[in-house]
Amino acid sequence: MLDLFADSQPWQEPLAPGAVILRRFAFRAAPQLVQEIETVAHCSPFRQMITPGGYTMSVAMTNCGRLGWTTDSRGYLYSPVDPLTGLAWPDFPPSFLRLSQQAATAAGYADYQPDACLINRYVPGAKLSLHQDKDEPDLRAPIVSVSLGLPAVFQFGGLKRSDPLTRILLEHGDVVVWGGESRLFYHGIQPLKAGFHPMTADCRYNLTFRQAGKKE
Ligand code: SIN
Ligand code: FE2
Protein backbone atom coordinates (compact mmCIF):
# COMPACT_ATOMS: atom_id res chain seq x y z
CA MET A 1 0.00 0.00 0.00
CA LEU A 2 1.38 3.42 -0.94
CA ASP A 3 1.61 5.58 2.16
CA LEU A 4 1.81 9.22 1.15
CA PHE A 5 2.97 10.17 4.64
CA ALA A 6 5.79 7.65 4.91
CA ASP A 7 8.49 10.23 4.35
CA SER A 8 6.80 13.34 5.66
CA GLN A 9 7.84 15.01 8.88
CA PRO A 10 5.57 14.67 11.92
CA TRP A 11 3.32 17.65 12.60
CA GLN A 12 1.41 18.86 15.66
CA GLU A 13 -2.28 19.58 16.14
CA PRO A 14 -3.43 21.27 19.38
CA LEU A 15 -6.28 19.33 21.03
CA ALA A 16 -7.06 21.08 24.34
CA PRO A 17 -5.15 23.07 26.97
CA GLY A 18 -2.21 20.82 27.86
CA ALA A 19 -3.08 18.31 25.11
CA VAL A 20 -1.60 17.89 21.64
CA ILE A 21 -1.65 15.35 18.81
CA LEU A 22 1.79 14.55 17.45
CA ARG A 23 0.84 13.22 14.04
CA ARG A 24 3.05 10.36 12.78
CA PHE A 25 5.53 10.97 15.61
CA ALA A 26 5.99 7.19 16.11
CA PHE A 27 5.92 6.31 12.40
CA ARG A 28 9.63 5.55 12.09
CA ALA A 29 9.82 3.67 15.40
CA ALA A 30 6.66 1.68 14.63
CA PRO A 31 8.23 -1.51 13.20
CA GLN A 32 10.37 -1.89 16.31
CA LEU A 33 7.50 -1.00 18.66
CA VAL A 34 5.26 -3.64 17.08
CA GLN A 35 8.00 -6.24 17.34
CA GLU A 36 8.54 -5.36 21.02
CA ILE A 37 4.80 -5.67 21.69
CA GLU A 38 5.03 -9.25 20.47
CA THR A 39 8.02 -9.91 22.75
CA VAL A 40 6.18 -8.47 25.77
CA ALA A 41 3.06 -10.50 24.95
CA HIS A 42 5.16 -13.64 24.79
CA CYS A 43 5.91 -13.23 28.55
CA SER A 44 2.71 -11.50 29.69
CA PRO A 45 -0.02 -12.51 27.22
CA PHE A 46 -2.89 -10.29 26.09
CA ARG A 47 -6.01 -10.97 28.12
CA GLN A 48 -9.52 -9.54 28.27
CA MET A 49 -9.82 -8.19 31.79
CA ILE A 50 -13.04 -8.32 33.78
CA THR A 51 -14.19 -5.02 35.25
CA PRO A 52 -15.11 -4.83 38.95
CA GLY A 53 -18.73 -4.71 37.72
CA GLY A 54 -18.32 -8.13 36.06
CA TYR A 55 -18.04 -7.08 32.40
CA THR A 56 -15.42 -8.62 30.12
CA MET A 57 -13.60 -5.80 28.33
CA SER A 58 -13.60 -5.99 24.53
CA VAL A 59 -10.04 -4.64 24.41
CA ALA A 60 -7.31 -7.16 25.22
CA MET A 61 -4.53 -5.82 27.44
CA THR A 62 -1.08 -6.47 28.76
CA ASN A 63 1.58 -4.26 30.37
CA CYS A 64 5.27 -3.64 30.61
CA GLY A 65 7.30 -1.57 33.04
CA ARG A 66 7.61 -1.61 36.81
CA LEU A 67 3.84 -1.32 37.29
CA GLY A 68 0.95 -2.68 35.24
CA TRP A 69 -2.67 -1.55 35.17
CA THR A 70 -5.04 -4.36 35.97
CA THR A 71 -8.41 -5.16 37.50
CA ASP A 72 -9.69 -7.43 40.21
CA SER A 73 -12.95 -7.73 42.08
CA ARG A 74 -11.95 -4.78 44.30
CA GLY A 75 -11.35 -2.34 41.48
CA TYR A 76 -8.65 -0.98 39.18
CA LEU A 77 -5.11 -1.02 40.44
CA TYR A 78 -1.46 -0.83 39.50
CA SER A 79 0.43 -3.97 40.36
CA PRO A 80 4.13 -4.87 40.07
CA VAL A 81 3.03 -8.47 39.41
CA ASP A 82 1.10 -9.81 36.43
CA PRO A 83 -1.81 -11.69 38.04
CA LEU A 84 -1.90 -14.09 35.07
CA THR A 85 1.70 -15.27 35.36
CA GLY A 86 2.49 -14.43 38.98
CA LEU A 87 5.69 -12.78 37.72
CA ALA A 88 6.84 -9.19 37.32
CA TRP A 89 5.65 -7.51 34.10
CA PRO A 90 8.30 -7.46 31.36
CA ASP A 91 10.70 -4.50 31.50
CA PHE A 92 10.21 -1.49 29.25
CA PRO A 93 11.88 -2.18 25.92
CA PRO A 94 14.38 0.71 25.48
CA SER A 95 12.55 1.81 22.30
CA PHE A 96 9.35 2.33 24.34
CA LEU A 97 11.02 4.54 26.92
CA ARG A 98 12.87 6.57 24.28
CA LEU A 99 9.79 7.21 22.18
CA SER A 100 7.60 8.18 25.16
CA GLN A 101 10.20 10.62 26.49
CA GLN A 102 10.75 12.18 23.06
CA ALA A 103 6.99 12.61 22.64
CA ALA A 104 6.55 14.16 26.10
CA THR A 105 9.37 16.58 25.37
CA ALA A 106 7.91 17.50 21.98
CA ALA A 107 4.59 18.19 23.72
CA GLY A 108 6.27 20.49 26.26
CA TYR A 109 6.57 18.09 29.22
CA ALA A 110 10.21 17.85 30.30
CA ASP A 111 11.71 15.09 32.44
CA TYR A 112 9.07 12.44 31.75
CA GLN A 113 9.77 9.25 33.72
CA PRO A 114 7.01 6.73 32.97
CA ASP A 115 7.03 3.51 34.96
CA ALA A 116 3.96 1.84 33.41
CA CYS A 117 2.92 1.06 29.86
CA LEU A 118 -0.51 -0.41 29.22
CA ILE A 119 -0.70 -2.15 25.85
CA ASN A 120 -4.20 -2.32 24.37
CA ARG A 121 -5.14 -4.53 21.44
CA TYR A 122 -8.34 -3.73 19.56
CA VAL A 123 -9.94 -6.10 17.07
CA PRO A 124 -12.93 -5.00 14.95
CA GLY A 125 -15.81 -4.02 17.22
CA ALA A 126 -13.59 -3.52 20.30
CA LYS A 127 -14.02 -0.19 22.06
CA LEU A 128 -13.09 1.68 25.20
CA SER A 129 -15.93 3.56 26.87
CA LEU A 130 -15.45 7.13 28.08
CA HIS A 131 -13.21 7.20 31.16
CA GLN A 132 -10.65 9.28 32.99
CA ASP A 133 -7.10 8.09 33.69
CA LYS A 134 -7.21 8.77 37.40
CA ASP A 135 -5.59 5.79 39.11
CA GLU A 136 -2.18 7.48 39.20
CA PRO A 137 -1.13 9.17 42.46
CA ASP A 138 0.91 11.94 40.80
CA LEU A 139 -1.16 13.79 38.22
CA ARG A 140 1.63 16.17 37.22
CA ALA A 141 3.02 13.68 34.70
CA PRO A 142 1.18 13.57 31.35
CA ILE A 143 -0.30 10.58 29.54
CA VAL A 144 1.52 9.60 26.34
CA SER A 145 -0.63 7.48 24.03
CA VAL A 146 0.74 5.84 20.85
CA SER A 147 -1.46 4.47 18.06
CA LEU A 148 -0.26 1.61 15.84
CA GLY A 149 -1.98 -0.28 13.04
CA LEU A 150 -5.62 0.19 12.08
CA PRO A 151 -7.10 3.69 12.57
CA ALA A 152 -9.61 4.39 15.34
CA VAL A 153 -11.87 7.25 16.36
CA PHE A 154 -10.66 8.81 19.62
CA GLN A 155 -13.10 10.84 21.68
CA PHE A 156 -11.74 13.60 23.88
CA GLY A 157 -14.04 15.56 26.17
CA GLY A 158 -13.62 17.54 29.36
CA LEU A 159 -13.64 17.13 33.12
CA LYS A 160 -17.30 16.07 33.14
CA ARG A 161 -18.56 12.95 31.40
CA SER A 162 -21.29 15.07 29.80
CA ASP A 163 -18.88 17.64 28.32
CA PRO A 164 -18.90 17.90 24.51
CA LEU A 165 -16.60 15.46 22.72
CA THR A 166 -14.07 16.12 20.00
CA ARG A 167 -13.75 13.10 17.69
CA ILE A 168 -10.39 12.53 16.04
CA LEU A 169 -9.23 9.76 13.73
CA LEU A 170 -5.97 8.42 15.13
CA GLU A 171 -3.78 6.71 12.57
CA HIS A 172 -0.69 4.55 12.57
CA GLY A 173 2.17 6.41 14.26
CA ASP A 174 0.07 9.16 15.84
CA VAL A 175 0.84 10.08 19.45
CA VAL A 176 -1.51 11.98 21.77
CA VAL A 177 -0.09 13.64 24.87
CA TRP A 178 -2.36 15.09 27.54
CA GLY A 179 -1.47 16.61 30.88
CA GLY A 180 -1.78 19.82 32.85
CA GLU A 181 -5.32 21.21 32.57
CA SER A 182 -6.54 18.26 30.50
CA ARG A 183 -4.85 15.48 32.49
CA LEU A 184 -8.21 14.25 33.83
CA PHE A 185 -10.29 14.84 30.70
CA TYR A 186 -12.67 12.04 29.71
CA HIS A 187 -11.66 10.07 26.62
CA GLY A 188 -12.48 6.83 24.83
CA ILE A 189 -12.25 4.84 21.61
CA GLN A 190 -15.23 4.14 19.34
CA PRO A 191 -15.73 0.57 18.08
CA LEU A 192 -12.87 -0.35 15.72
CA LYS A 193 -13.78 -0.72 12.05
CA ALA A 194 -12.55 -3.85 10.28
CA GLY A 195 -9.61 -3.37 7.93
CA PHE A 196 -6.13 -4.48 7.08
CA HIS A 197 -2.90 -2.77 8.08
CA PRO A 198 0.43 -3.99 6.66
CA MET A 199 2.12 -3.89 10.08
CA THR A 200 -0.60 -5.22 12.38
CA ALA A 201 -2.99 -7.02 9.99
CA ASP A 202 -6.50 -6.88 11.46
CA CYS A 203 -5.90 -5.00 14.69
CA ARG A 204 -4.92 -1.75 16.35
CA TYR A 205 -2.46 -1.42 19.21
CA ASN A 206 -2.27 1.44 21.64
CA LEU A 207 0.55 2.06 24.07
CA THR A 208 -0.44 4.20 27.06
CA PHE A 209 2.53 5.47 29.06
CA ARG A 210 1.97 6.70 32.57
CA GLN A 211 3.86 7.62 35.66
CA ALA A 212 1.91 5.40 38.03
CA GLY A 213 4.20 5.33 41.07
CA LYS A 214 5.41 8.21 43.15
CA LYS A 215 8.33 10.12 41.70
CA GLU A 216 11.38 10.01 43.96
C1 SIN B 1 -6.82 4.50 26.77
O2 SIN B 1 -7.47 5.48 27.01
O3 SIN B 1 -6.38 3.78 27.69
C4 SIN B 1 -6.47 4.07 25.36
C5 SIN B 1 -6.77 5.07 24.30
C6 SIN B 1 -6.45 4.52 22.93
O7 SIN B 1 -6.57 3.32 22.70
O8 SIN B 1 -6.08 5.31 22.05
FE1 FE2 C 1 -7.36 6.15 29.10
Residue 101 lies in a domain: yes
Residue 143 has pLDDT above 70, yes or no: yes
Percent of the chain that is helix, strand, coil (3-state, to 5): 15, 35, 50
- Supply the residue whose CA is at minimum distance from atom 2 of ligand 1: 188
Which ligand ends up closest to the CA of 132? Answer: 2
Residue 130 lies in a domain: yes
Tell me, what's the pLDDT at 2?
57
Residue 4 lies in a domain: no
Confidence of residue 164 (pLDDT cuts 50, 70, 90): very high
Which ligand ends up closest to the CA of 185? Answer: 2
Mean pLDDT over 112-130 rounds to 97
Give the domain extent around 76. Answer: 12-210
Residue 5 lies in a domain: no
Residue 134 lies in a domain: yes
Tell me, what's the pLDDT at 72?
80
HEC secondary structure over 133-183: CCCCCCCCCCEEEEEEECCEEEEECCCCCCCCCEEEEECCCCEEEECHHHC
Residue 44 lies in a domain: yes
Binding residue per annotation — 76?
yes
Which residue from 134, 146, 176, 187 has its CB within 8 A of the most atoms of ligand 1, so it is best to mutate? 187
Tell me, what's the pLDDT at 137?
87
> Cβ-count burial of 164 within 10 angstroms (0-12 exposed, 13-18 middle, 19+ buried)?
exposed
H-run or E-run covering 97: helix 94-106
Residue 95 lies in a domain: yes
Q: What is the chain's length?
A: 216
Residue 6 has pLDDT above 80, yes or no: no
Tell me, what's the pLDDT at 73?
78
Binding residue per annotation — 69?
yes
The number of distinct structural domains making up the chain is: 1
Q: Is the CB of 128 under 6 A from ligand 1?
A: yes
CA gyration radius, the chain = 16
Q: Is the CB of 187 under 6 A from ligand 1?
A: yes
H-run or E-run covering 120: strand 116-122
Residue 53 has pLDDT above 60, yes or no: yes
Residue 1 lies in a domain: no
User: What CATH number does residue 44 fall under?
Assistant: 2.60.120.590
Entry pTM: 0.95
Residue 25 has pLDDT above 60, yes or no: yes
Residue 214 has pLDDT above 90, yes or no: no
